[in-house]
Protein backbone atom coordinates (compact mmCIF):
# COMPACT_ATOMS: atom_id res chain seq x y z
CA UNK A 1 0.00 0.00 0.00
CA UNK A 2 1.34 3.41 -0.87
CA UNK A 3 2.07 5.96 1.83
CA UNK A 4 -0.58 8.35 0.52
CA UNK A 5 -3.20 5.58 0.32
CA UNK A 6 -2.62 4.60 3.94
CA UNK A 7 -2.66 8.23 5.06
CA UNK A 8 -6.02 8.80 3.34
CA UNK A 9 -7.45 5.62 4.89
CA UNK A 10 -6.07 6.54 8.32
CA UNK A 11 -7.48 10.07 8.19
CA UNK A 12 -10.87 8.69 7.09
CA UNK A 13 -10.82 6.21 10.00
CA UNK A 14 -9.66 8.86 12.48
CA UNK A 15 -12.43 11.11 11.21
CA UNK A 16 -14.83 8.74 12.96
CA UNK A 17 -13.19 9.31 16.36
CA UNK A 18 -15.22 12.01 18.07
CA UNK A 19 -13.73 14.06 20.91
CA UNK A 20 -16.29 13.41 23.68
CA UNK A 21 -15.87 16.87 25.21
CA UNK A 22 -16.20 18.85 21.98
CA UNK A 23 -18.33 16.51 19.85
CA UNK A 24 -16.07 16.99 16.82
CA UNK A 25 -13.79 14.43 15.18
CA UNK A 26 -10.03 14.48 15.73
CA UNK A 27 -9.19 15.25 12.08
CA UNK A 28 -11.55 18.24 11.87
CA UNK A 29 -10.16 19.52 15.16
CA UNK A 30 -6.69 19.51 13.59
CA UNK A 31 -5.28 17.17 16.22
CA UNK A 32 -3.85 14.62 13.75
CA UNK A 33 -0.52 15.75 12.30
CA UNK A 34 0.51 12.60 10.41
CA UNK A 35 -0.18 8.91 9.93
CA UNK A 36 2.20 6.38 8.39
CA UNK A 37 2.39 2.61 8.07
CA UNK A 38 5.70 0.78 8.38
CA UNK A 39 6.59 -2.26 6.28
CA UNK A 40 6.00 -4.48 9.32
CA UNK A 41 2.46 -3.18 9.91
CA UNK A 42 2.99 -0.55 12.58
CA UNK A 43 0.68 2.43 12.14
CA UNK A 44 2.38 5.52 13.52
CA UNK A 45 0.14 8.46 14.38
CA UNK A 46 1.59 11.83 15.28
CA UNK A 47 -0.95 13.99 17.02
CA UNK A 48 -1.43 16.71 19.56
CA UNK A 49 -3.97 17.48 22.24
CA UNK A 50 -5.93 20.66 22.84
CA UNK A 51 -4.30 21.01 26.26
CA UNK A 52 -1.27 19.52 28.00
CA UNK A 53 -2.42 16.91 30.50
CA UNK A 54 -5.69 16.28 28.68
CA UNK A 55 -7.75 13.89 30.83
CA UNK A 56 -8.96 12.06 27.70
CA UNK A 57 -5.52 10.98 26.50
CA UNK A 58 -6.02 7.30 27.35
CA UNK A 59 -9.58 7.25 25.99
CA UNK A 60 -8.40 8.87 22.74
CA UNK A 61 -5.55 6.35 22.41
CA UNK A 62 -8.03 3.47 22.74
CA UNK A 63 -10.42 5.03 20.22
CA UNK A 64 -7.57 5.66 17.75
CA UNK A 65 -6.41 2.07 18.15
CA UNK A 66 -9.93 0.73 17.53
CA UNK A 67 -10.32 2.88 14.40
CA UNK A 68 -6.94 2.05 12.84
CA UNK A 69 -6.58 -1.64 13.70
CA UNK A 70 -9.34 -2.41 11.16
CA UNK A 71 -7.31 -1.01 8.25
CA UNK A 72 -5.56 -3.42 5.86
CA UNK A 73 -1.99 -4.23 6.87
CA UNK A 74 -2.21 -2.68 10.35
CA UNK A 75 -0.94 -4.97 13.09
CA UNK A 76 0.03 -2.47 15.77
CA UNK A 77 -0.55 1.20 16.54
CA UNK A 78 1.95 3.63 18.01
CA UNK A 79 0.85 7.12 18.96
CA UNK A 80 3.27 9.97 19.36
CA UNK A 81 1.88 13.00 21.15
CA UNK A 82 3.64 16.24 20.38
CA UNK A 83 3.05 19.86 21.23
CA UNK A 84 5.23 21.11 18.40
CA UNK A 85 3.57 22.93 16.85
CA UNK A 86 1.19 23.71 19.67
CA UNK A 87 -2.47 23.26 18.76
CA UNK A 88 -4.62 26.33 18.25
CA UNK A 89 -8.11 26.98 16.95
CA UNK A 90 -6.79 27.97 13.51
CA UNK A 91 -5.88 24.29 12.95
CA UNK A 92 -9.56 23.33 13.02
CA UNK A 93 -11.54 22.92 9.83
CA UNK A 94 -14.00 25.67 8.98
CA UNK A 95 -16.84 23.20 9.63
CA UNK A 96 -15.49 22.37 13.09
CA UNK A 97 -15.18 26.06 14.01
CA UNK A 98 -18.76 26.67 12.88
CA UNK A 99 -19.98 23.59 14.78
CA UNK A 100 -18.38 24.92 17.94
CA UNK A 101 -19.63 28.46 17.37
CA UNK A 102 -16.18 29.88 16.65
CA UNK A 103 -15.83 32.19 13.66
Residue pLDDT, tens place only, 18-41: 999 889 999 999 999 999 999 999
- Provide the residue range defining the domain that includes 52: 3-98
Q: What integer pLDDT is reported at residue 81 of this predicted model?
A: 95
Answer yes or no: is 72 within a domain. Answer: yes
Give the Cα separation of 50 and 30 in Å (integer). Answer: 9
Residue 70: strand pairing partners: none
Give the Cα separation of 37 and 1 in Å (integer). Answer: 9
Report the CATH number that the domain containing residue 61 is assigned in CATH.
3.30.300.130
**Structural domain count of the chain:** 1
Answer yes or no: is 46 within a domain. Answer: yes
User: Residue 4: is its pLDDT beyond 90?
Assistant: no
Q: What integer pLDDT is reported at residue 47 of this predicted model?
A: 96
pLDDT digits 0-9 by tens, 40-71: 999 999 999 988 888 888 999 999 999 999 99
Answer yes or no: is 61 within a domain. Answer: yes
Answer yes or no: is 76 within a domain. Answer: yes
Give the DSSP H/E element, type plus range, for residue 96.
helix 94-99
Answer yes or no: is 12 within a domain. Answer: yes
Answer yes or no: is 23 within a domain. Answer: yes
Answer yes or no: is 103 within a domain. Answer: no
Whether omega for the bond prior to residue 85 falls within 30 degrees of 0, making it cis, is: yes
Answer yes or no: is 40 within a domain. Answer: yes
Amino acid sequence: MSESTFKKQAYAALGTVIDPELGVDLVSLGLIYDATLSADGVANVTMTLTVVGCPLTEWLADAIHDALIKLPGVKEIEIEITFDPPWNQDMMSREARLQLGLH
